[in-house]
Chains A and B, each alone.
Chain A
Amino acid sequence: MNQNLTLLQSAIEAGKRKDAVALTRSLLDEGMAPLDVVEQALVPGMSVIGEKFKRNEVFVPEMLIAARAMKECMVLLEPLLVAAGVKPKHTAVIGTVQGDLHDIGKNLVAMMLKGANFAVHDLGTNVPTEKFVEAAREHGAELVCLSALLTTTMPAMREAVGVIRAAALPKVKILVGGAPITQEFCNEIGADGYSPDAASAVDKAKEVLSA
């Protein structure tokens, strides 16, 4: 394996953004295809840090600096991917439900999905329910991800699931998550999947999309 790919993966895991960007440049200068850089260094790096997060070996700050490093590499890579006609495998819409202003978990999930070659349309926080439907329709999304941190905004998540279900979007799957959310609540409100943390969200997204 190319030594710079290994170093880039390590830089992503450690959140060393300047090193990561320099290594990405080097790899592109060497003639490596941008999709190979993403799939052979960035995605594995984020996967390793995500697995460590699941095992409580690292915490949110380590996830954030890894995601920041990847994001800065993607600034270089995305235009090249577009120019090369590389298309994302799936399209997702993500947001924090109405009444809830928290976004760290949602941002981490968005970054993990991007790393797994999803096109992600981030609607932000405090998103009115109808916006999820409009955005899913506009972007042809197959996945809508709903986040809530507060117990008081869980009813808004229930409402959002109901409105998305009532819309004519038969192929859309709904993924939910956030501190007070449980698998039981997911089942109760009729969502397709629940992820307890950002690192698990990609696996769950792929699972519900293949169901």
Chain B
Amino acid sequence: MNGYERYFATLDGGTPDHPARTPILMRWAAEHIGQAYGAFVSDHRVLVEANLRCARDLGIDQVSAISDPLRETAGFGGKVAIHPQTGASCEEPPLAAALDLALLQRPDPASSLRMRDRVEAVRLFKAKVGGEYSILGWVEGPLAEAADLRRMDNLFMDLFDGDEEVAALLDVCTDVAIDFARAQVEAGADTIGVGDAAASQISADLYEEWVWPREKRLVEAIHAMGARVKLHICGNITHLLPGIARLGLDVLDVDHLVDLATVRAAVGPKVALAGNVDPVKGVMQARPDAIRTAVAACRERAAGPFLVNAGCEIPAGTPLENLRAFCQPL
């Protein structure tokens, strides 16, 4: 089996020869090919080369366009700076001072520089390794993107203030995520990752009221394009699982703070669970034999379709031998 076949065997209820490996690699991937992270987030050729080298050197089964959370923010008109070592940042989010949607541009994946660069990454993956590896596109979820535009603390207080404008902001973020996903699917992505990191920090009630309906609309739109959906929410999502289980996901990334058996009980037998070794203590700082044991334990706790992953991004500086142990076939 190649990586593409292994990944889809897992998602489609088949029997992969061993679990597919889908770690989140950004800073580490740039380091691996001797490039600055700033180049990784701003030049799709660097991102593609880094992913392909990681896939080939480590036996990873999916290549990914994930790089940083500020592609769409730049499209909305946010001033995004690229730093060689720390990557992309937006020190003055466009709505930080006022929740006024008139301050935003409407992003276009075909013309926004940073969004187009990600689409080009997917297109290059498709040309180079289509059918050999799964290709993961990436969009920001509605809450995460709204937080990038408004600042997370302001947005969280807006949710309580219940202004109509905050609903409109979340809606436009969902619309843009759908547009961006469509451009990546058309370029060759077989799966779209949705990063909605901020959601773990809100209550189940707020999630159900403000976020779930929009995530559901995004998931259904991506499925209608013919692609699969993976949801990644950093942090502890145990309290959100009843809602997440109703989203209709194909893959759920699970951070290390969450018990995989609890997730399995909540989401049922079909969703592939990706995770959830602690990226710092369990991968970066652990010994290779302990890493192998931890990955095997995750598979056991997942008790069903399973993808090898850490709880979140593999940290820069993780020793190569640790990642080799992490990716060694189970």
> Which A residues lie at the B interface, using CB under 8 A?
15, 56, 58-62, 64-65, 68, 99, 101, 103-104, 107, 151-152, 179-180, 182
| Residue of B156, B235, B284, B315 contacting most chain A CB atoms (<10 Å) | B156
State which size class the interface on B falls in. 20 to 34
* Given A61-B201, A64-B157, A182-B280, 4 more pairs with CB closer than 8 A: A56-B239, A59-B201, A59-B206, A152-B316
B 283-315 to A, binary, CB cutoff 8 A, 1 in contact else 0: 010000000000000000000000000000001
B 198-235 to A, binary, CB cutoff 8 A, 1 in contact else 0: 00011100100000000000000000000000000001
Q: Is the CB of A61 within 8 A of B203?
A: yes
How far is A192 from B206 in the complex, measured between Cα atoms in Å? Answer: 37
Q: B201 — which chain A residues lie within 8 A by C-beta? A: 59-61
CB-CB under 8 A for A60 and B202, given A15-B160, A104-B153, A151-B284: yes
Q: Distance (Å) between the CB of A198 and the closest chain B CB?
A: 12
Q: Is the CB of B203 within 8 A of A180?
A: no
B 29-57 to A, binary, CB cutoff 8 A, 1 in contact else 0: 00000000000000000000000000000
A-B contact count (CB 8 A): 48
Q: Is the CB of B316 within 8 A of A61?
A: no
Nearest-CB residue, chain A, relative to B152? A104
Q: Is the CB of A152 within 8 A of B315?
A: yes
Q: Is the CB of B281 within 8 A of A101?
A: no
Q: Is the CB of B91 within 8 A of A101?
A: yes
How far is A104 from B200 in the complex, measured between Cα atoms in Å? Answer: 14
Q: Is there a chain A Cβ closer than 8 Å to B264's Cβ?
A: no
CB-CB under 8 A for A61 and B160, given A107-B153, A151-B316: yes
Q: Distance (Å) between the CB of B91 and the closest chain A CB?
A: 7
Q: Is there a chain A Cβ closer than 8 Å to B27's Cβ?
A: yes
How far is A101 from B69 in the complex, measured between Cα atoms in Å? Answer: 14
Q: Is the CB of A101 within 8 A of B89?
A: yes
Q: Is there a chain A Cβ closer than 8 Å to B86's Cβ?
A: yes
Q: Distance (Å) between the CB of B204 and the closest chain A CB?
A: 9
Nearest-CB residue, chain A, relative to B160? A65
CB-CB under 8 A for A64 and B315, given A101-B89, A152-B27: no
Q: Is the CB of A65 within 8 A of B153?
A: no
CB-CB under 8 A for A59 and B202, given A107-B153, A151-B279, A152-B316: yes
